Structure 1
Amino acid sequence: MYESGEVAIPLKDRVFGRYLADDVKTTEGKVIMKNGEYISHEEIETIEKENITSVRIKSPITCGCVNGICAKAYGRDLAKGEPVNTGEAVGIIAAQSIGEPGTQLTMRTFHVGGVASSSAEKSNFESPSDGKIKIQNLRSVVNQAGSEIIINRTTELEIYDLNKKLVSTFRAPYGSTLLVKDKAEVKLNDLLLEWDPYTVPIVAEEIWHFRF
């Protein structure tokens, strides 16, 4: 999961302890993990080694059980750290887990603090070093103000140092303003991207006329 152009939740944290809903293949098409296989630490290492960016997993949404949920759709028992046993009362556990935050909602008293609330939302991306920038998968439009607006979610900015070594990779948020050109030379802390972290933009790719 990406947030403000950076990885908010790594893939390994999302899939650990789950079961595959489809075969996992390398870029060459070789099957390295099969459908229905449990994802343990060893499988996570394989996924990272092969640079796999997405996998399909079984979940309550994909489960075909009419009553309840199957063990493979549920995945790992968080209390024991192993695959959940058939017949485990996971519904009761879920109800107990939601009780405390549910009470907060009812009484309108919320716990605040921690890393999430103490860190400010990012609204720009600056160059981490001197070097040259390379832009991958760019799709953009130019608005009336002459600014270049990114209109996809796969644009990545790669920063190479003076020795042509890759220093940083940053995924540009949808709707962000690109302030640099491909293959341009940049200095440390140069502003490369800007965006509003508190809005979700809808960017028109063509000229439209609206009537009300």
Structure 2
Amino acid sequence: MMVRRTELEGVLLFEPTPHRDTRGFFSRTFDAAVAESVGLQPATFRQDSQSRSHRGVVRGLHGRQGSGEGKLVRCSFGAVHDIVVDARPQSPTFGRWIALRLDDQDMVHVYIPHGFLHGFQALSDVADVCYRIDQEHDPAADVGVRYDDAELDIPWPVDVRDVSERDRQAGSWSDLRELLSCPGNMTDHVERTRVR
């Protein structure tokens, strides 16, 4: 398994080497030693989750306030158009996003550290996405930006067929920037807000 850095600091691609033969394939989906070699602490992962989506479905753009959430994401079946947005106010790439194709052929995983938004669109008839997360889910800490936010201007490769009500009601990138406008990051803002 190889690791490649992206243009967004901290976002990593884990590229396994599937062994294929007439039976199908065998592939390592996680390697603690490889994760540790790039500074991750595998023992901190707390939950594994999986979603299933049909072609055209968009999930996101989701993030977490408070202590944040780091996650390792892969598409175990089918293919998705994956989006990662830098929402760290002090980052030189704040507001920039990258698009990745995650699928069950290349089996690339993306590690998304704290302070980012994440979303994806299913490209195949059915797509299963697996998440390994370093925090227990706290719905009260959820933040989101609409998938069709005009300022981020993220192109989705196929017609958007379905979006959850929560994602339809998500705020804009401008709303999130306002939330993040006090000095520090999302974590600092939330901690100060709770102290008041």
Query: Does TM-score exceed 0.5, indicating one fold?
Result: no
Q: TM-score, normalised by structure 2?
A: 0.24
Higher strand share goes to which structure?
2
Q: TM-score, normalised by structure 1?
A: 0.22
**Which structure has the greater CA radius of gyration?**
1
